[in-house]
Amino acid sequence: MASEHDQAIFEAAIKLGALYHQWVGTPVSPSTASLLESAIQESVSLQPYVADIHVSLDRSQMAENIFGYSELRGTMLTVDIITKVGSSCCHARLQRRGDYPLMEIVSCHEEP
């Protein structure tokens, strides 16, 4: 059986991976970006062990196609998520590093 620490890390990682693959390709424009940020946050926050999540989309990468919108790309996403399993917390992040959307574990700690 996994420790609470390991489970908190797993939960953060699996949620970022699922978020990425679920939402990339979604139609978006600068005028709808805040709605999409909220929808992603609200959707992911419903899942077990999510203590906090913040989603930000890089509007500068939103170049309109001939129909007036862009498609969400992984490099547009900056996501910070905190998962909590028992007293173990994990902070993970998805953000652009160069031309690549990188997911990483930022920190883990135990709460008293």
Query: Does the pLDDT value for residue 1 go beyond 90?
Result: no
Neighbours of 32 (CB within 10 A): 16
Q: What are phi and psi of 71, to 5 degrees?
A: -110, 135
Q: Which residue has the higher pLDDT, 2 or 63?
A: 63
State residue 2's pLDDT score: 82
Reported as a single tens digit per residue, the pLDDT across 46-58 is 999 999 999 999 9
Reported as a single tens digit per residue, the pLDDT across 67-101 is 999 999 999 999 999 999 999 999 999 999 999 99
State residue 18's pLDDT score: 96
Domain 4-110 has CATH 3.30.1300.20: yes
| Cβ-Cβ contacts under 8 Å for 61 (sequence gap 6 or more) | 70, 73, 75, 76
The SS3 of residue 55 is: strand
Mean pLDDT confidence for 10-22: 97
This prediction has a pTM of 0.94
Place of tokens 């970022």: 16
- Buried b or exposed e, range 78-102, using 16+ CB within 10 angstroms: bbbbbbbbeebbbbbbbbbeeeebe
State residue 63's pLDDT score: 94
Domain boundaries, the chain: 4-110
Please give the mean pLDDT across all residues of the chain: 97
Neighbours of 54 (CB within 10 A): 13
State residue 112's pLDDT score: 83
